[in-house]
Each structure stands twice: as C-alpha cells, then as structure tokens.
Structure 1
C-alpha cells in the first residue's frame, strides 16, 4: 500500500523532472514546472521517486530543503506560509516579527537560509500538489511570489506543481503566468492502441501482482525484520507462499479476472486497493489467498463506469457503438472515423428492414459520444467525418451493454454477438 517511491513507465518525463531538481541543488539554477495528467497516472509517485533517489546523495540530503504544500490542506496563503515556515524550520527566527506583505515574509524566510558568506543559499524544492486549487487563493499571491523568486534567481528554488486539470494554465492570472517558465510535462496512461502494446501492459500488471503479493526473498527478509521488530518470516513458509503466488498468475480464472479489471481501470492505485481487500481476508483460520477471495474483492471494484454511460442510449446510438466494435475488431484496435462507421451501419440497416432509415446529419450527431477519444488534429477546419478517434470500449463491454438493453431489436442483438 506504499507506492509513493517505486515508479514505473514515463522514463523520459521522470528524467526531465530529475534534471530540473538536480540543477537547482547542484548549480543553483531556479526552475518552475507543472506536471499534468489524469488522476492515477502517477504524477505524485513520479515526484516522490525522484526525491527519494536524490535524497540518497549526500550533497542533496545535506543542502536541499523540501517543502510540501497541498491544495486541499493549505486552503489559503496564510496557512501555506505558516506550514512553509514550519517545514523550513524557521519558526524561531520569525517568532513575533510582523511583516507588511506576503512577499516580505517569504523574502525574509528565504534570506534566512543564506549561509555565512551571504552568497550561498540553501536550495528549496517546493512541491505543490493539487496545484489548481492554489489558483483559487486571493490574488494568487503565493504562486506569484514563488514564480517571481524562481524567475529573478534571488535564491535557488524549484517549484513543481502537480495538477489533474489539463487547462491549468488558463487558471493563472496574467501577472503570474508571465513569471512562470511555461514548462509543462504531461503524463498520460500508456498508449495501448495496438494489441501487442496492450498485452505488454497487461503482462506488467501480472508482474506487479506477483511483486506486491510476494514475501521478501532471502536478501530482503533481514531488512524487513530490522524494520519491524515483531515481524519474522519463516524461510520455508516464505518460499511456499511465493511459489503459490506464482501459480496464481497462471490460473485461467485469475488471469481472466485481472484482465477484466484491467480493462475497466488501469490505475495502479485501484489495483493496490483491490489487493488490500483480498489480503484482508487472511486470518489464522484462512491462511491462503484463494481465487475466490479475489473474485469477491473484485466485486467492490468492478462497477464499470463506461457501462453506466451506455444506459439510456437510443437504438441508433447502440447500433453505431456495435459498428465501432466491429470496426475495431476487424482492424485490430486501429483508430476509426465517422465515414467508416457510417458505411458499416448503412450496410447493416439496408440488410434489415426493421431498422428505420435515418438521415446522415442525425447519425453524425449520434456518433459524437463520450466513449470516443479524438486522435491527432482536432482543428475545427478539419472535416468532422474524417477526424480519427480511438474507441475506448472493449468487445466484452459492448456485449454486456447489449445484454442490459431492454427492448433492443433481435437483429441488432444478433449483429452485436455475430463473429466477424
């Protein structure tokens, strides 16, 4: 349940953040950067893994100060400044001093970090989680002053903002934006457009399953026992347990369950929560994780949001989704456009007299759906009919939605389940 320092994927993005922080500490270069991506994409984990790796270096550990601020906790600049002072261990220096402005206060705090020769100042790494919430603070004073210090290079600081808002730059006031470096790093879940990549990503998930549920091997068992005085692992039991966990990832029922859950939610956070529920079933009377324990645990996490989106669709919309499913299966996950789906739907409609004829603009309107992800050029000048999209549902999800659809014509149901 402690994923905050072990990071997988996004190698280049991690290297970029690592270099920025390193340059602040080693050569006194000030930087600011925004890490942007959907929830669960690993933004906070990436930052924490970088800081953990750098903290192993003596030069970083002895010199750098890390200040963590969180938009949900530090709801105004007064709270942020108070905690900033605490984390920089400068409460005694500030004591009862009264400052006119936020800028004077921050400037005083940073000056306090300067060493005896008045030239060298301790570098400070500011981590601002839920960065978009800081944009709601009065006049964005905190952000303005941090970016101003970073830009003017008064003292070496690195400001790392973390946000799930893709439009976060639009939330910055003009004067704040002018002092920001405009450096943004985007993290998105891995592209699984081809079946080969998808299989590779799922193999990673199986590997993660094995890693998280295995007990420490001979090399690491001593470290665990030192860390937790009351934890002793019998080597024979550890070996048997690990062999059993390995056997689970070859169990067909188990693999299919994990595959289904992976299609619903690829985030590692949800996966860890799912495993925690399964592990919580262990007791002295129940000392082995059975496949059924995972099946039961999965029921909490298997609520498929995409299937909820499909509830209440018109028959025409459902037909287009079936056409998308067929197109995706034939072309092995390749992107699709309106023209291809329109032709496939019309071919089906012409062969079945029970399907009402509908005009093309109506079909076009029904085609525009949340389950489609635009790919490439989304310029308005680009003709809609030829804009490419990625279909985000699996064949199984479409079949499930068809089963749940009451009153769907038989021909449409048969079309959905027919093999290509």
Structure 2
C-alpha cells in the first residue's frame, strides 16, 4: 500500500493528462466495448439467445441485424459474443468466421478467407485443393461431418451483407444458408446491413433457405440515458494509477454534467442524432483540448467541440462571400419572411437590394445591375440558391423562380461571424421589414 502511495506521488500533471487522453481515446474510438447496450436491450437479448442456441444446443440459425450506420450493429454483436465466450465450454468449442462485403468482393476470395479462418488451408493430409469447386466441396463437407454432438459450432458473421448479394449467382450465400438449414453442422449466419430492402436483393433459392429473422435497431434511447452515458464515458475507473487526480477528475465531470450550458449542448446533439458515434466524436474533440495548463474538462471545451463537430458547411460558405453577395442573401431572407417562403426571382431580389441602398446604406457602393446579376449567378453556382423547376423552364434568367437553401438561423449566425461586416448591413438583416 505504501509503495502504491509513493508511486502516485511521482505522477506529474502531464503524465496524468497523457494517461487520461489515452484511456478516453481508446473508449471513444470503439476499441473498448461498453458494459451494456443502452437503448437496445430487447434486441441484445434476442441476438444472444439465437447465438446461445447454436453454441450450446447445436441449433442452426440465420439472422439479419438491420439498422442505419452508427446505430450499434457491430457493437451489439460484439457484446453478445463477449458474453457468450465467457462460458468456458463455448469458448473452447465455437469457431468464428468474420467476412466483409467490402473486403471479400467475390465468392472465391470469401471462400479462401473462410478456409484460412477455419484453419483448413490447402492441405489436409496429402490432399491439395487448387480449384474453387474442390475447395467449396471440401469446406462444406468439413462443416457437415459428424452429428451435432461432435461438430464444432461455427458463427459466420457477414458485415455489409447486402454486398454479398451482388456476387455472381449468390453462390456463397446459398451454400452458407443451405448448411444452416440442413442442420448437419451447427452454423449461425449473422448478416449486418444498412439496407431495409436487403431481402429483395436475394434470389428465390437463397431467400427460401433464409430463416427471415431480422433484428431492427431502432434506438429507443431517452435523453436521461444519453446524459448518463455522457457522464459514464468521461468518468475514470478506480484502477487509474493516480487516485487523487482520478477523484478530482470524476468530481469535476459530475459537476460538469449538471451545468445548464452542458445540458443544452447535449440536448442539441441528442435532437440531431441519438447514436453514440456522434457523441464520441463530440467527446473526442473536447478531450483533445485538455493539457497541462488546462488539466480538467470545462463547459467552454464542450461548447467549442460542439461548434466544430456541427460546423455548418453552407454557413461556412457565407463567410467567404463578398459584401454584395451577402446583401443579396439578406434580401432573399427578407423576401422569404414577407412572402412566407414562396419562391422569388432576381428582379424581386434586386428591387429589395435597391430599397436598402436608398433608405439605409451609407457603406455599400451602388452596383450596376449586370454586376448584381453576376453576383446572383455566383450564389447559384455555390448552390446557396436553386431553381424551383430545376432549370428546365425557358424563361428569362432574371425572372426564373428560385429558392434560398439557407434558413433564417444560418444567415444570422454567419453574419455574426462575418469578418468586418458593415453595421448598417447587420441592422438591415435584423430589421423586420427589410
């Protein structure tokens, strides 16, 4: 105990910060699995039960895990495998084959990878398998040998499952699902995909061999759980080398979770996306701001990280516009307010701009109409405005109907950050009647 204390006293702030960043980055970059799948409890239970039936009872299964990117499909599967492999009889017995549609681009490559992962490469006894057909026959025979009690269960995990459906004749999918249906060898085929219509891609003979089990990841996460996950992800565990630093850090995180500004930031991110990938991106940016001079996380770090992670591409384009182009955007914003979002044309925008010049502006030069039209066309090229009819309608360019592709908030935020924006232009933007 005394040795531990003396060791703790030798840790500098720099060493502690370095260790904190290492631990948290490992968490946020998906190298470390969470304790439990938040918001996906029922799906986790279902998947675990299916895999357990194959691993323990020798029952063949096939299942698809369907959900958008970042929903936690791979995480869910890895958690289920982790819990299952904690059982010693399962760990010794189960074989796993991991394939990806992005890497195994045809059935021949996929079969070679299966053979490699099952350690059945090329030579068994004195036999050498050269061709695809021989290799396939051998592999299927190897899986089908023996009865349920003497065959080792095999999990086939197919990431990007929909890409395997594009392989010629879907030979690999057909044979895997055929083995899982034949029940001669205990096999679980688990496909992970983002496509809801994935079954429509399968041939009839493949579809007939699939169990039609699907696990949909529709995240039912509540904001309170999201907040709890935020605190948990940033909290250091008890085995951190410097207990004093760890206690101070955790106390600071607890206070941070209760701050109103932090709750507002989290609510904003939760409203736009409930997946943990976006939360981890936010936390990674925030954690990268801690240093020896700033050893604890502050609300300002999260605010800056939030600004960086939710940077608005269209809003950023506004910062590079000329004053004339910015004035045209403001004129369009006013037209949107006056006519409640109805489309406008160049002539209407030009009239609005001229009104501003006559009434309020002392800092903006009175541009000729062709120059203003050139600026209007530049906004069209930048896709900040777009034609209502897609540019098909044969009318004069000045009278072609357009829509502004920015909302009120984006325009106002960009104006606040615009370098050296004239005061009368800002006042015109916030005025109610243009």
Superposition TM-score, scaled by structure 1 size: 0.66
Is the 1:5–1:48 contact (alpha carbons within 8 Å) kept by the matching residues of 2?
Answer: no
The residue aligned with 2:80 is 50
State which of 151, 159, 164 in structure 2 corresponds to 1:121: 151
- Cα offset, 1:399, TM superposition: 6.6
- Whole-angstrom distance in 1 between the partners of 2:173 and 2:122: 25
What are the equivalent positions in structure 2 for 1:141-152 lying under 5 Å apart?
A: 141-152=171-182
Q: Which residue of 2 aligns with 1:242?
A: 250
From 253, 276, 299, the equivalent of 2:261 is: 253
Give the superposition deviation at 1:63: 0.8
Partner of 1:214: 235
Q: CA deviation at 1:99?
A: 4.5
Counterpart residue number, 2:300: 292
Whether 1:106 aligns to 2:139 is yes
Task: Give, in whole Å, the separation in 2 of the partners of 1:118 and 1:210.
Answer: 46
Secondary structure in structure 2 of the residue aligned to 1:241: helix
Aligned partner of 2:99 in structure 1 is: 69
Say which SS state the counterpart of residue 179 (structure 1) adopts: coil
Q: 1:30 to 1:5 in 2, by over 3 A?
A: farther
Q: After the TM superposition, which of the residue ranges 180-189 and 4-13 deviates more from structure 2?
A: 4-13
Structure 2 residue aligned with 1:180 = 210
Q: Which residue of 2 aligns with 1:85?
A: 115
Q: Give how far 1:300 is off.
A: 2.6
The Cα shift of 1:10 comes to: 2.1
What SS does structure 1 have at the residue aligned with 2:211? coil
Over 3 Å counting, the alpha-carbon distance change for 1:258 and 1:398 in structure 2 is farther
The superposition leaves residues 308-350 of structure 1 with CA deviations (integer Å, 9 ceiling, x where unpaired) of 9xx999959x9599xxxxxxxxxxxxxxxxxxxxxxxxxxxxx
Larger RCO (CA under 8 A, 6+ residues apart) = 2
- Who wins on radius of gyration, i.e. which is larger? 2
Alignment pair present for 1:31 and 2:40: no
The CA RMSD measured in Å over matched residues stands at 3.5
Distance 1:143 1:277, change over 3 A: same
Contact 1:278 / 1:293 at 8 angstroms: preserved in 2? Answer: yes
Q: Summarize the Cα distance change of 1:103–1:280 in structure 2 as closer, same or farther, 3 Å threshold.
A: same
- Which deviates the most, 70-79 or 122-131? 70-79
Q: Secondary structure at the match of 2:222?
A: helix
Q: 1:67-99, CA deviations, whole angstroms, 9 ceiling, x for partnerless residues?
A: 111111211112212221222122264573234
Q: 2:310 aligns with which of 294, 302, 317?
A: 302
Instruction: Indicate conservation of the 8 Å contact 1:71/1:131, yes or no.
Output: yes
CA contact (8 A) 1:274 1:301 kept: yes
1:369 maps to none
Residue aligning to 2:183: 153
Corresponding residue pairs, total: 311
Match of 2:381 in 1: none
Query: Secondary structure in 2 aligned to 1:91?
Result: coil
Alignment of 1:268 onto 2:289? no
Deviation at 1:402, TM superposition (A): 8.6
TM-score normalised by the chain length of structure 2: 0.64
Indicate whether 1:400 and 2:433 are aligned: no
2-structure distance, mates of 1:18, 1:306: 44
Deviation for aligned residue 1:65: 0.8
CA contact (8 A) 1:85 1:109 kept: no
Partner of 1:203: 224
Contact 2:155 2:187 in 1 (8 A): yes
305 and 170 in structure 1: CA distance in 2 versus 1, 3 angstrom threshold = farther
Give secondary structure in 1 for the equivalent of 2:192.
Answer: strand
